[in-house]
Amino acid sequence: MRPLLITIVLIAPILMSGCTQSDVDTSEQSMGCTYPEAVNFNSSSIIDDGSCIYPDAPAKILGCMYSDALNHNPSATEDDGSCRYPVVPEPVPGCTYPEAYNHEINATEDDGTCVYDSDGDGIIDPFEQPGCTDINANNHNSSSTDDDGSCDYDEDDDGVYDWAESEGCTDITATNYDPSATESNQTMCEYPFVMTLENLEAFLADSNNDGDPDGFGASIDALRNDTGFIRVIVIEASTEEDGMESDSNANTTAVEMIVGHDPTNEIMYNSMVMRIMGDISIEQTTVQGPDGINYRIGSPDSGSWYYARDEVYQYENPFSEDEGGEGGDGESDDGESECDEFFENHPFGWTDNWTLSYDDGVNTVEGTNETEGLVASLEIVGSVPKLKLLQISSIEGMESCSIEMLDASLIDIGIDTSLPRTSMTMKIENDIEEDSGNVKTWSADLSEEHFEEVNLNEIILRVYAIDGESEEGGGEDALVTEMQLSEQSSTYTDQCYQWTLSWSDNDNDGYTSAGDAYSISRTDKVIEPCDEDDEYRDRDFQFMFYDSWAGMPTGGVFTPGFGLLAAISSILASSTVLGRRVV
């Protein structure tokens, strides 16, 4: 009711007064859009006339409006429910701490299983076992994994580490007392061996009835397998029957021989000195091994060393009966020496009495045989007694013989291939010369004593015409023809003769060796023979073997006494050291 009254009150004056133009204009100006949100809002309008115009609503942008989504769209104005989220993987349990022994690089969630190996030795801490891990320690524990410093290196607690301990004989009465020894080992002690008559009798006994004193045989046996040397000296009175004249008043002859070997390197040593009538001396030394032979003719002051070769060297142990040839069964052409009286009789009963003495490891034994007029002297060394020296001498006279074991360290044995070369020697036997008119033949064999086996390519057989004048010789020896032994046979025709040279390699081994033979035949030329009075027919002819390796005739450095020395050496080596011991 009240609104109606208000309306009437307002309209009534208007109706009653009438409307003027100004009123109409004023009324029109007070009407318009009174809504501020409208585009055409009129702030002076009093009455809204329904003319308000509003801006168009923006277009909706659909999309995922959640920022955690994989497809979040920051421009979306309206979420359309399309959001997609990352898939959360299942956790991977394990040890996630890198310093742990069992660290699992792929684990995403620590499960509390981590274990540790603090020292990095591959054993985890709970299973470590402390102890001594040094295998050189006395208390080494093979089960220990961690060394705890408990190792003991002084087992006897004497203040000397085990590695510094020196074991030895600490008994001052022993011959090998060692004052520097820190550990006593009485089993190492050696005590002076003072020989008694019972010991001597046992040493000189012939228990196996082989004709040799047992101790002497044992001493020789010791040399068979080790480097060893033995010296034999025989001095005898000279007589007029010796047939050698000398200006000297000396009336003795002497032979000194050293025989030795190095079985490891298979080298043999032989040295021989002969003194005839006291002042005439012949000396020769030979060292022979797989690399060749060294010779010296003469003493160290007067002789020179040479190098030769034996390409098929065969080692023979000079102290072995099995390898040493006849084993001493042969007889010496020079008769028996004073040593034979000792060896051929029972050695212990040989003397009228024995005198024994001891000094500095050497037992000296002396005895006299008044019947034979001889005195014996022996030196025996070692707690297992071994012969060092045996000497038998005339009581009234200068005759004697001695056998001595030498210190191997004092003799240098080896082949020096840098020495001047010398030729090999051909040991010839069975020389035959046959003349049947117009054919003449010379032939010979290499003897069983020949030992230097060299390649046939290196030896040349030559024929020389002696003292004839020719273009080749100029008044000197002229070479007629020659043949290398490996050719086996060759022929040559000179002005008067046809020569045929041949070499028989009977064992077909290609080397100069015992049993091989040569022959040379000379036949008068049939076609165009020379005149009977041709001077060439009157010339002498000489045959020679030439060693091309050495560049000289065979036997280059040997003296005439070499063969004698070798023969005596062989006899002494076999008879003194082996068999009957005939010296």
Residue 484 three-state SS: strand
Does 389 reside within a domain? yes
Q: Give 519's strand partners.
A: 443, 502
- Structure-model confidence comparison of residues 418 and 111, the more confident one: 418
Strands (E), 362-477: 362-369, 374-381, 386-394, 400-406, 428-435, 439-446, 459-466
Token pair belonging to 159: 């203040």
A 10 A CB-CB count for 256 gives: 17
pLDDT digits (tens, 9 = 90+) for 97-135: 887 877 888 887 888 878 777 776 767 777 778 888 887
Are residue 399 and residue 439 in the same domain, yes or no?
A: no
Are residue 243 and residue 380 in the same domain, yes or no?
A: yes
Are residue 397 and residue 543 in the same domain, yes or no?
A: no
Q: How far is it, in rounded angstroms, from Cα 406 to Cα 577?
A: 14
Does 151 reside within a domain? no
- pTM across the whole model: 0.61
Does 105 reside within a domain? no
* Identity of residue 369: N
Does 111 reside within a domain? no
- What average pLDDT does this structure show over 144-164? 75
Give 509-561 as a DSSP string. Answer: SSB--TT-EEEEEEEE-SSSPPPTT-GGGG-EEEEEEEETTTTEETTTT--TH
Are residue 434 and residue 531 in the same domain, yes or no?
A: yes
Are residue 438 and residue 348 in the same domain, yes or no?
A: no
pLDDT digits (tens, 9 = 90+) for 321-347: 654 344 444 444 445 677 887 888 888
- What average pLDDT does this structure show over 382-401? 89
What is the pLDDT, as a whole number, of residue 34? 86
Are residue 352 and residue 256 in the same domain, yes or no?
A: yes
Lowest average pLDDT, out of 237-251, 270-284, 472-486, goes to: 237-251
CATH of the domain at 481: 2.60.40
Structurally, the chain folds into a number of domains equal to 3
Does 155 reside within a domain? no
The backbone torsions φ and ψ at residue 457, rounded to the nearest 5 degrees and listed phi first, read -65, -20
| Best-predicted range by mean pLDDT (97-111, 228-242, 499-513) | 499-513
Are residue 370 and residue 455 in the same domain, yes or no?
A: no
Are residue 404 and residue 476 in the same domain, yes or no?
A: no
Does 335 reside within a domain? yes
Are residue 366 and residue 435 in the same domain, yes or no?
A: no
Does 27 reside within a domain? yes
Does 140 reside within a domain? no
Q: How far is it, in rounded angstroms, from Cα 229 to Cα 405?
A: 6
pLDDT digits (tens, 9 = 90+) for 529-556: 888 888 888 888 899 999 999 999 998 7
Token pair belonging to 535: 């001077």
Give 265-287 as a DSSP string. Answer: TTEEEEEEEEEETTTEEEEEEEE
Structural domain boundaries, residue 470 = 428-556
The rounded mean pLDDT for the chain is 81
Residue 366 three-state SS: strand
pLDDT band, very low/low/confident/very high, at 582 (cuts 50, 70, 90): very low
Q: Which long-range contacts (CB under 8 A, 24 or more apart) does 382-386 make?
A: 382/193, 383/190, 383/191, 383/193, 385/193, 385/195, 385/199, 385/203, 385/215, 386/215, 386/218, 386/219, 386/222
Are residue 382 and residue 236 in the same domain, yes or no?
A: yes
Are residue 343 and residue 459 in the same domain, yes or no?
A: no
**Listed residues 48, 69, 84: the one ending a domain:** 48
Residue 111 three-state SS: coil
* Burial call 381-400: b when 16+ CB within 10 Å, e when fewer: beeebbbbbbbbbbeeeebb
* Residue 581 scores a pLDDT above 50: no
What is the pLDDT, as a whole number, of residue 482? 96
Are residue 284 and residue 343 in the same domain, yes or no?
A: yes
